[in-house]
Amino acid sequence: MNTMTSAPTPDRFETVACYLCGARESTPLTEAEDDLTGKPGRFQFVTCKGCGLAFQNPRLKAEHIGSYYDDEYIAHRKKSDWGPLTPLYNWAMGKHDRDKLKLVERYLPLGSATRLLDIGCGAGTFLALARARRGAAVTGVDFKDLGGLPWMRDIEFRHGRLADQDFGSRRFDLVTMWHFLEHDYEPLATLARVRGLLAEEGRMVVEVPRLDSLSFRLYRERWPGLQAPQHTALYSRDRLLAMVDKAGFELLDYLPYGAFPPYFYLFTGLAFKLLKGRGLNLSRAIYPYFLGQALLAPLLLLQRHLNLAMHTVVCRVPR
């Protein structure tokens, strides 16, 4: 629920250089609102003149962004009662985690010896699944403290930023970032830190919204991938590849899709267009959401070929 009554004041913003090349000159791309919750404010995205990366500028200072990650934020999903559709909702959210597991195991089979770190782990359900089904040793990091959720008891949860965590000599076989990098205030620094945390044969999996996608062309300033002001950078295919390359990774695979359901972007983008910044009531939207998903099921089977909304990179540290 939107509890904010006024837009953030100019003193809460800061101008930033390009996250990829450091250039200061840019051209306007679009302006966006917090379409999901309806919190007030307009936020500007620009395109770097130096390298073409799209990012939010000016952006909210880090100390002011927390209020946009309240209990209604979708990745933290504390709500459990969705009425008659609760079983369907739970199945859908479970499928999202099962699809993550299926994706990563194409590149690294998980087992009891696997050490897994999920950055921006949110409610931690993917980690809980990896531990329950594969026995993996799982660790999660998130600046929102959701460690009290019942399934988090078997997860090593670190509350705060990755940069503030001391993992000592620990090395991970798998590091995942499911829709985290687009939120990061220092993406290159985060990727560099991950590079030092991976084991010799370790893998990194990064999934983000895709700027050069069909859903962005359809919805533009109401594209759910903007998710202002939480999203700080927007990654096209070439800019995502340039980012991981500059951080010193070797690309193993690029996927024009991800584990996240692209239908969510198709549905919410249309809703945002109609609502024009008034916020989406998820409790009411759940019924048309699942109805539309059933109607579009044949189209969604082709997501790997249609470039609908997401993309993913799988990387390792060069040998």
What pLDDT, on the 0 to 100 scale, is given for residue 135? 97
DSSP 59-104: EE-GGGSGGGS-TT-TTT------GGGHHHHHHHHHHHHHHHHHHH
CA 281 to chain centre: 21
Handedness of CA 134, 139, 143, 149 (dihedral sign): positive
**Rounded-to-integer distance, Cα 257 and Cα 247, Å:** 22
Predicted structure pTM score: 0.94
Tokens of 166: 């001391």
Query: Which domains are present in the chain?
Result: 10-316 (3.40.50.150)
The per-residue pLDDT for range 195-238, each reduced to its tens digit, is 999 999 999 999 999 999 999 999 999 999 999 999 999 999 99
Residues of the chain scoring pLDDT < 70: 1-4, 70-82, 169
Q: H helices of the chain, where?
A: 86-104, 125-134, 187-197, 214-219, 237-246, 262-275, 282-295, 297-300, 303-306
What pLDDT, on the 0 to 100 scale, is given for residue 76? 47
What pLDDT, on the 0 to 100 scale, is given for residue 72? 54
What pLDDT, on the 0 to 100 scale, is given for residue 150? 87
The count of other CB atoms within 10 Å of the CB of residue 295 is: 9
Q: Is 6 exposed, middle or buried (0-12, 13-18, 19+ CB in 10 A)?
A: exposed
